[in-house]
Amino acid sequence: MDGNKLNKWRNSIFCILLIVSFIGCGNSNVSGSFDGDDLTALGNQWHLSFPRNISILGFYKEDDGRAMDSMVQLLLKMDAQDVEQFISDSPFANLELSNENRGKLGADYKWWQPSKVANLRSAQVNLNNGEVLNIGIDSSLKDKAVIYLFWYEI
């Protein structure tokens, strides 16, 4: 094989590997296993009391062992009638939820798309030890609400 063909071959292999790595590294709806016990643990950590009738639409956790890079994104669906009690029992109880804070929920991808919600009531609260929790509430569905929760350490 001459040098020119070898370089084209190497470049083709490199491009294929690059494309495969991007496809393989995309965020899925659930990162690892996630169940009711995990939801209870997050509720305890974030000072939230989740209603019983709840669906997990998406979960992503990133933790490389350095506190500054730890984050969790959790997308839930609950009965619309449970939202106000959920908020009143949370660290967000005394905060104004507005459409202005949606940018604090981070960038859109696959299942996490807060910027696409027309009216997303949102807020941010500082928890213990440099932890931050953001919430977004999409009430556009008839009897359900979609809740965006974005937690990270600073």
Alpha-carbon distance of 134 to 117, in angstroms, equals 16
Residue 31, pLDDT > 70, answer no
pLDDT confidence of residue 2: 61
pLDDT confidence of residue 10: 52
Check residue 32 and report its DSSP letter: S
pLDDT confidence of residue 14: 39
Alpha-carbon distance of 144 to 108, in angstroms, equals 21
Residue 66, pLDDT > 50, answer yes
Q: What backbone phi and psi angles, to 5 degrees, belong to 6?
A: -65, -45
Residue 35, pLDDT > 70, answer yes
